[in-house]
Amino acid sequence: MQYPHIGLALKRGNMPRQLSLTLSLLLLGATSASRAQEVRASISGIVTDPSGAAVSGARINVTSSSNNSTVSARTNESGSYLTPFLAPGTYVLSVEQPGFKKLVRENIVLESLDKARIDVQLQLGAIADAVTVTAAVSTLQTETASRGQTLSNELIHNVPTQGRNPFQIAWAAPGVIKTGAWRYLRSFDIGGTSGMSINGGRNQENEVLLDGISNVLSSRQVSEVPNPESVQEFKVLTNTYDAQYGRTGGGIITIVTKAGGNQLHGSAFEYFQNDKLNANQSELNAAGTPKSPNHINSFGFQASGPVFIPKVFNGRNKLFWLLSWEGMRQRSSDPGVITLPLAEWRTGDFRSLLNAQGSPVLVYDPLTTQSNGSRQPFAGNVIPPIASARSRRKC
């Protein structure tokens, strides 16, 4: 059995657009991020001069270190600025204003939903001169009341998971309790993936956002389990006070997929499970049954880069693409243990029906029900054929 999964993401600067494709790569449709809840980061702050007075009209540039795309803004009359729609990654902030030295702030690491605050004090001098600050930006989120934990791309890739299911990493976050089955956790299973309680909420009463788009069915189950190779980061919000969030009786999981860059990148993978490498299942051991065949192969590839059409369009620093594909083949049995009635039980003879302590499990005659609710057991724990037929007619 093979379950294909394919996706394509086109990103212009920091404004993502997602496209859904069939296996023949025919375009089916596009979903605009304007209909989704925002999962990208932002930087805000106030620009002042050496005396502490606000500097209005200063030019703010925030440049991605991975693809050189830039988001620009200017300070208002109170010196405040805001640069929204920043995909997770590392950035460089620069501030320019005539009569002041240019200020450059490097190594600004942003995660999904971050609202970083960076206040800047400019120094008098020529704009050709530059002051570079390399100190790390404070991780204290003073611009939002929501609280949660971010699970990075490195953690998702380096921690082993059953069935290559990235949701298992989210279950390790504080405030998250796994309530569903652990068995069905392949990358295409949604039953085992959906069972979780966040911050005391009810099972499956959580919202899951995939690049800002709701990833939950009407049954409150997760709709899509993304390929771990395509995931940039997870964020588990246990306390959600921002007005943009809804549709949840517990917490919110936001998933941000990767974006392409200026350089061509590609990778291929193959993960496999084999019964020769695994121990026998507990239910088979209990029944004395030998290990059953089990062969699972997960394979795929990922490629990304800038959109480039020779002599027509050069998308470096502007438009990028990323393609991630994963397939799975499974050849294995699905053992289980069930209880079936013995031949004598089918004829009404329950003398061999015993509980765990070896005592008879009595079968009561429903036609002997008294006003106090008590009933008489069948003699010898055997239902007479006539009584059995009379009971069926009564029902």
| Three-state secondary structure string covering 179-214 | CCCCCCCCCCCCHHHHCEEECCCCCCCCEEEECCEE
Q: Would you place residue 146 in the very low, low, confident or very high pLDDT band (cuts 50, 70, 90)?
A: low
Give the pLDDT score at 290.
Answer: 84
344's enclosing H/E stretch is helix 343-346
pLDDT digits (tens, 9 = 90+) for 305-323: 999 888 889 888 888 888 9
Higher pLDDT, 280 or 187: 280
The structural domains of the chain, with segments of one domain joined by +, span 41-133, 146-257, 343-394
Residue type, 385: P
pLDDT digits (tens, 9 = 90+) for 62-98: 998 888 888 999 999 999 999 998 888 889 999 999 9
Q: Which CATH number fits domain 146-257: 1.20.1090.10, 3.40.640.10, 2.170.130.10, 1.10.287.610?
A: 2.170.130.10
| Cβ contact 73:95 at 8 Å | no
Q: Are strands 207-210 and 308-309 parallel, antiparallel or unpaired?
A: unpaired
pLDDT digits (tens, 9 = 90+) for 202-257: 877 788 888 888 888 888 888 888 888 888 888 888 776 666 676 677 788 888 88
Question: How many other C-beta atoms lie within 10 A of the C-beta of residue 290?
Answer: 8
Q: Are strands 294-306 and 308-309 parallel, antiparallel or unpaired?
A: unpaired
Question: How many other C-beta atoms lie within 10 A of the C-beta of residue 126?
Answer: 11
Q: Report yes or no on whether pTM surpasses 0.75.
A: no
Lowest mean pLDDT among 104-108, 139-143, 169-173: 139-143
Give the pLDDT score at 97.
Answer: 92
CA distance 158 to 54: 46
Residue 36 pLDDT > 60: no
Span 374-394, average pLDDT: 76
Q: Would you place residue 344 in the very low, low, confident or very high pLDDT band (cuts 50, 70, 90)?
A: very high
41-133 belongs to which CATH class?
mainly beta
Percent of the chain with pLDDT over 90: 22
